[in-house]
Amino acid sequence: MLSSKELMEKAGVSRATLNNYIGMGLIPKPIIKNPSSTDDKANDRARRLGYFPEEALDRLREINEMKKSGMRMATIIDALADDSPKAKAKKATASASVPDPEFSPTQGRGLQLTIDKLEHPAYLVNNKFEIEWSNVDSETEIFGQYSGLSSDIVDRNIFRLLFEGDQVTKAESREEILQFHLSIAKNRMSKAALLTANPTLDSDQFGELTSMYDGVTAIESRAMQDTEVNFAPRNEEPRRFRLYASFFREGIFFTYVPVDSEDQSILTLLSRRDLVIRDLLKSRKPYLTPMAVLVADLQDSVKICAELPPDEYFELINQIWGTMEPIFRQFYATHGKHVGDGMVYYFFPQPDCNYIFNAIQCAYEMKEAMKAISQEWRMKKNWTNELRLNTGLDEGQEWFGAYQTPTHLEFTVLGDTINRAARLSDFARNSSIWVTKNLIASMIGADREKITYGIRRDSADGEEILVPSTFGRLSNLIDLNDPRNLKLNDIGVLPVTEIIDMAE
């Protein structure tokens, strides 16, 4: 008997591939038992392992040979799967007890193809052409990154990886691969943005990238694009792939399918945005990225909730959310989780606009939009309440990922940036927008000149005056010993300022 680890190593297949073959009925399901004392130390620590008969290795080698000869998977299944009643019963049992938790039974012949079951190189890039998701095949066969890609998304720019990867550098179709990506990028990134995103390229690579960018025709259509490329070095036996690009709101999905094994199921999968994005979001690893965070809370929300009938309070909150949604989309914001009825949004680097300035503009537009909502509800309820949204902003480099269950997915950020933004939102009053000194310092000069910011101080005669372009530590702006302000102690020494106005 062979353990699953031994079987995968000897056959040269991944666990996902092994689970695929089990579900297809090509090899038997494993026998689960305690490891023997003769197993290796790693197996000694395991409580229970799956074991396969020796014949499973012969079957895997047979499948590999059939695939190399150009046979499609559906044909292999027809040739090898046992259709006897007894085997069908066994296959039904196997499909219900496959050890892979993400494996589920499917009706009809074979399995429904999913992203995590792809046996070809594939990756998803965002609008800055940074890789947000990739499978092992692309990391090794395309980029030559055998230990995996960097966790810092800035280091995962597709053009840097294509230029520096040995596999692409040696490929006969190297220029075609680069030009295909550039023709898609040209409609989304200016040349300046493209070059800025690739500072590690040498002068020759910069020159080639610039020349290629100028020479390609931008692909403006969002229909699926494809081209044929040869990954083998010149004068060697060809390794031809069909390179597909599929367009989604979340990014562009590239996949390389060997021309001798193209399957309609791949095209069906790529045409289903819901399936592709669901699978990508489920399997995407957290990554480190620059970002700005906006946290906004409705002032006196507890009081307003107490004064309104429940249906009207929900109506108000839904109106606020509905009004703000187009503003968030306009400034490329990503929704995060707020513990109450407030708002948390993340702003990430964009190809041709500044994400920090996007966050400030978004906060200011929200403030203006709330004035109209407040006026409408004063007339509707004949009350004196002023509806105010208090906002805190900060900027930093943090881990971005998702919490998920089988039925729910929730984006989140880990780190101090969101905590500081939330505390500033707690500190803000009367529709004010408060930001950290670090955020202002991170802005480019041209954007900084478009905003008026500063600290309101009391003059000698007791009048409030604005001291522009200044900052203040929170401990100098409020009494942190006041019980109402105790939760602000952790940012007491943080230099902050208020956004007062923005130029038209």
Question: What domains appear along the chain, each with residue ranges and CATH number?
Answer: 2-110 (1.10.1660), 116-283 (3.30.450.20), 287-502 (3.30.70.1230)
Read off the pLDDT of residues 134-152 as tens digits, 9 standing for 90 and up. 988 899 889 988 888 998 8
Q: Could you give the CA distance from residue 340 to residue 333 in angstroms, rounded to a whole number?
A: 19
- 3-state class (DSSP) for residue 110: coil
Question: Cα torsion for 25, 28, 31, 37, to the nearest 10°?
Answer: -130
Count of other CB atoms within 10 angstroms of residue 362:
25
DSSP assigned state of 7 = H
- Tell me the torsion sign for CA atoms 435, 391, 424, 333: negative
To which residue do tokens 């702006």 refer? 477
Q: How many Å separate Cα 330 from the centre of its chain?
A: 19
**Residue 104's pLDDT is what?**
34
**Nearest one of 197, 155, 162, 166 to 179, comparing CA atoms:** 162
User: Can you read off the two tokens belonging to residue 439?
Assistant: 């955020």
Whole-angstrom distance, CA of residue 291 vs CA of residue 344: 13
Query: Dihedral of the CA atoms 250, 252, 258, 264 (nearest 10)?
Result: 60
Beta bridge partners of 244: 226, 255
Question: Does the model's pTM come out above 0.85?
Answer: no
pLDDT tens-place string over residues 376-428: 999 999 999 999 999 999 999 998 887 766 666 677 888 899 999 999 999 99
Confidence band of 1 (pLDDT split at 50, 70, 90): confident
Residue 87 has pLDDT above 70, yes or no: no
Q: How confident is the model at residue 342 (pLDDT cuts 50, 70, 90)?
A: confident
Higher pLDDT, 17 or 225: 225
